Amino acid sequence: MSVTSVPALQHTDRGPLSRDEMAQALARDIPRGAYVNLGIGQPTTVADHLPPESGVIFHTENGMLGMGPAATGDAIDPDLINAGKLPVTELPGASYFHHADSFAMMRGGHLDLCVLGAYQVSAAGDLANWHTGDPEAIPAVGGAMDLAVGAKQVFVLMSLFTKSGESKLVEACTYPITALHCVDRVYTDVATFDLTTGEAVGVRETWGISFDELSARLDVPLTWAGS
Amino acid sequence: MTQLCASVDDAVAGIADGSTVLVGGFGITGMPFALIDALIRQGAQDLTVVSNNAGNGDTGLAALLAAGRVRKVVCSFPRQTDSWVFDELYRSGRIELEVAPQGSLAERMRAAGAGIGGLYTPTGVGTLLAEGKETREIGGREYVLELPIAADVALIAAHAADPLGNLVYRKTARNFAPVMATAATTTIVQVAHVVEVGDLDPEAVVTPGIYVDRIVQVAA
């Protein structure tokens, strides 16, 4: 399929997606009724676009299914927090369980999908999101490795370029790896990528940049997803 | 036989220097603050602490670290916005750190409590955290061998206990506590409520009393 035949997927009449629009774009692709874990930080904002009527059930690594929105005011309960250690609420039908069970749900392949941030993602789906590799940095992994290997699908939500303009979608990760061959899709401000298409990285949609411009800026071969 | 202690100081009596201590909590949620404060007074040192984090703010686990009682921390996520006590000790070379994936941390304790000699997990394969560890292909997938974490002492918090040591928890304050309770020689629990034998619904008990050695009631 030639680039010009898919103008609907190539939004060059506007700028890149805002952070909120990125979360919205990802949320649209989450199947109704899925069991979903949202990572700390920007991935958490995906929940803003998945109301209870979406049927999506949120898992939090610290031992809960059926997590509701952030708690405010009188609803704040110090015994009820999310993975980012912020107060949350429980929805009808929620359940609590201990940490070994919580991670068995991930590792055992029971969780449909997780959304994670990333420093880098490779064309082969390797994920780097836990350590910058800086010898001065204090390493901290949390649940990232377990989520990445365990969830049936891994969606990454990140800006495509660093502040200095380097692509975070790379041929091979230079940051320490979180897990190999685990990322299925990458949702960024300028494009959505499908890493399950084979040799080349599939582009599903672009914003504020054409497919050809995008190809010129990345070191990985691209193709239109589904072409 | 579970012992109902009159005070938190009685509850932590006898913890030896050099002990490995499991400390419950995810951040400060579920952290056994009163038991940690008592452990600081008790004075045991050269401890290895296993906990999800490495202390928050200046209280609880952070206070134990600040008191210089901890030689090594085994945790999944030490670095947080309020982990300044640990950060300073680590950067000045005064504390050892072993970082473990959170699920492997939990499962290694579960293995210890269940008498399992180790576990093969796909978590960490191909990463820095698998370096030096045995790997094995099972059913076409690669796994890394993780060894059990058995401890001398577990310090955990629960919502309610009966005098037999049966425990129930509250919401996400449960986190690591049920697993830690199984993995220590001596499991010490601070609870908000002590109820009569028979008052806890047997179907709702999360940690059976067989895992619990000492309980002490603290202000909720």
What are the structural domain ranges in chain B? 3-117+149-217
Q: Which residues contact A134 (CB under 8 A, 6 or more apart)?
A: none
Tokens of B72: 């090594």
Q: Does A92 touch chain B (CB under 8 A)?
A: no
Question: To the nearest whole angstrom, how far is the Cα of A141 from the nearest Cα of chain B?
Answer: 6
B179-220 pLDDT, tens digit each: 999 999 999 999 999 999 999 999 999 999 999 999 999 987
In tens, the pLDDT along A32-68 reads 999 999 999 999 999 999 988 899 999 999 999 999 9
| Between residues A53 and A170, the one the model is more confident about | A170
Catalytic residue of the set A21, A53, A61, A171: A61
CB contact under 8 A, B128 and A176: yes
- The tens digit of pLDDT for each residue in B13-39 reads 999 999 999 999 999 999 999 999 999
Q: Is B145 on the interface with A (CB under 8 A)?
A: no
- Write the CATH number of the domain with boundaries B3-117+149-217: 3.40.1080.10
pLDDT at A3: 46
Among the ranges given (A61-65, A77-81, B121-125, B216-220), the one the predictor scored with the smallest mean pLDDT: B216-220
Chain A residues closer than 8 Å to B122 by CB: 107, 149-150
What rounded mean pLDDT belongs to chain B? Answer: 98
Q: What is the DSSP string of chain A?
A: --GGG-GGGEETTS-PPPHHHHHHHHHHTSPTT-EEEE-SSGGGGGGGG--GGG--EEEETTTEEEEEEEP-GGG--TT-B-TTS-BEEEEEEEEE--HHHHHHHHHTT---EEEE--SEEETT--EE-S----TTSPP--TTHHHHHHHSSEEEEE--SB-TTS-BSEESS--SPPSBSS---EEE-SSEEEETTSSSSEEEEEEESS-HHHHHHH-SS-EEETT-
CA nearest to A128 within chain B: B127
The residues pairing with B131 across neighbouring beta strands, listed in sequence order, are none
What is the nearest CA distance from B10 to chain A, expressed in angstroms? 26
**Three-class SS string for B112-131?**
HHHCCCCEEECCCCCCHHHC
The CATH architecture that domain A18-189 belongs to is 3-Layer(aba) Sandwich (3.40)
B123 vs A77, A85, A146: nearest CB: A146
Q: Which residues of chain A does B109 touch, with a Cβ-Cβ cutoff of 8 Å? A: 100
Average pLDDT over residues B39-55: 98
Alpha carbon separation from B36 to B57, B82, B92 (Å, rounded) = 14, 18, 24
B212 close to A (CB below 8 A): no
Catalytic residue list contains A61: yes
Whose tokens are 């921390």? That residue is B73
Dist CA A61 CA B182 (whole Å): 20
Asked if B173's CB is within 8 angstroms of A99's CB, the reply is: no
> Rounded to whole angstroms, how far apart are CA atoms A60 and A66?
9
Asked if A63 lies within 8 A of B174 by C-beta distance, the reply is yes
Calpha distance B169→B24 (Å, rounded) = 12
Give ranges for CATH 3.40.1080.10 in chain A.
18-189
